[in-house]
Amino acid sequence: MRAVDLVINERLTSEVPLVKEVSQYIISAGGKRLRPALLLLVSGALGSNHPHRHTLAAVVEFIHTATLLHDDVVDESTLRRGRATANERFGNAPSVLVGDFLYSRAFQMMVDVNNMRVMQVLSDATNVIAEGEVQQLVNMHDPSLDEAAYLRVIRSKTAKLFEASARLAPILAGAPTEVESACAVYGQALGTAFQVIDDVLDYEGDAQELGKNLGDDLREGKVTLPIICALKKASPEQQQLLQAAIIEGDVEHMDAIQNIIRETGALEAARS
Ligand code: GRG
């Protein structure tokens, strides 16, 4: 990953100091670099060490970082990677605009790679990510949201970039299209599982953490998979309480709602 971080730092150039400051702030905050790792691992599995692999690994991390900057503004989040979000530290406008900078820098780097299929896959992926986020917005406060609708959103907003990361390696290596398709299926499945577990882990801490994360999601009207599973197993009275909380973003009965999540085994159901 050092080689990828080297490219990332090389390409974070700007004549505008605030661009560098905000980009460095989020990029150096200790992200896991999962998408670059996936691209490099698939490259390795294919026995390919194409010279552009580190550039594309940096590209997917820039796109991921741009989406995080925008997402934190949309969600009005205050914590990211264990520290204040960029919007909390610098304000919404610098966060959105530096997100735009990282996104367009990623496209400049893609052009350097000079491979039309790479451009196709990444432009398609970013389009789908944005659509997924808009769909999530439309789904807010809807208690009738089911597992299929939840999966449609996370396949777009999260899994699509995992899918693109996994399929870029065979594209660079010039592998047959069946290999590219198999890698795409793998990346999509990995990304979907990753988002499900991310949502479950949010509710798995102690009572205080469950209360905070569940309260935040309900306030924002986010209907996560554990909430959908809880609704399915809840008694009619519990369903009524939970539905009202989803519709109104009402977190008045937090203790009772936390109990519904526990009593219905919603976290175990979501995991399976
Ligand atoms: C800029 C094209 C464009 C679109 C913006 C706001 C938005 C549209 C998309 C947000 C998508 C999003 C944030 C999905 C969640 C993905 C997710 C689970 C992020 C956390 O990933 P980790 O754990 O993060 O890999 P680290 O911090 O390790 O990098």
Examine residue 13 and state whether it is found in any structural domain, yes or no: yes
* Mean pLDDT (whole number) for 178-199: 97
| pTM of the entire predicted model | 0.95
Examine residue 211 and state whether it is found in any structural domain, yes or no: yes
Q: Which domain holds residue 263?
A: 207-271
For ligand 1, whether the C-beta of 197 sits within 6 Å is: no
Residue finishing a domain among 166, 197, 223: 166
Examine residue 132 and state whether it is found in any structural domain, yes or no: yes
**What's the 72 CA to ligand 1 centre distance in angstroms?**
9
Whole-number Cα distances in Å, 252 to 23, 113, 133, 217: 38, 53, 27, 14
Range in 122-131, 178-187, 196-205, 249-258 the model is least confident about: 249-258
**What's the 234 CA to ligand 1 centre distance in angstroms?**
31
Examine residue 36 and state whether it is found in any structural domain, yes or no: yes
3-class SS at 264? Answer: coil
Which CATH number fits the domain that encloses residue 137? 1.10.600.10
**What's the 65 CA to ligand 1 centre distance in angstroms?**
7
For ligand 1, whether the C-beta of 81 sits within 6 Å is: yes
The complex scores an ipTM of 0.98
- The DSSP code sequence of 111-134 is HHHT-HHHHHHHHHHHHHHHHHHH
For ligand 1, whether the C-beta of 66 sits within 6 Å is: yes
Range in 61-75, 163-177, 220-234, 241-255 the model is least confident about: 241-255
Q: Which atom of ligand 1 is nearest to the CA of 103?
A: 1
Examine residue 195 and state whether it is found in any structural domain, yes or no: no
Q: What rounded mean pLDDT belongs to the chain?
A: 95
For ligand 1, whether the C-beta of 67 sits within 6 Å is: yes
Examine residue 202 and state whether it is found in any structural domain, yes or no: no
Examine residue 180 and state whether it is found in any structural domain, yes or no: no
Same domain, 16 and 127: yes
Query: What pLDDT shows up at residue 140?
Result: 93
Q: Which residue CA neighbors atom 20 of ligand 1 most closely?
A: 68
User: Are 177 and 50 spatial neighbours (Cβ–Cβ below 8 Å)?
Assistant: no
Query: What pLDDT shows up at residue 69?
Result: 98
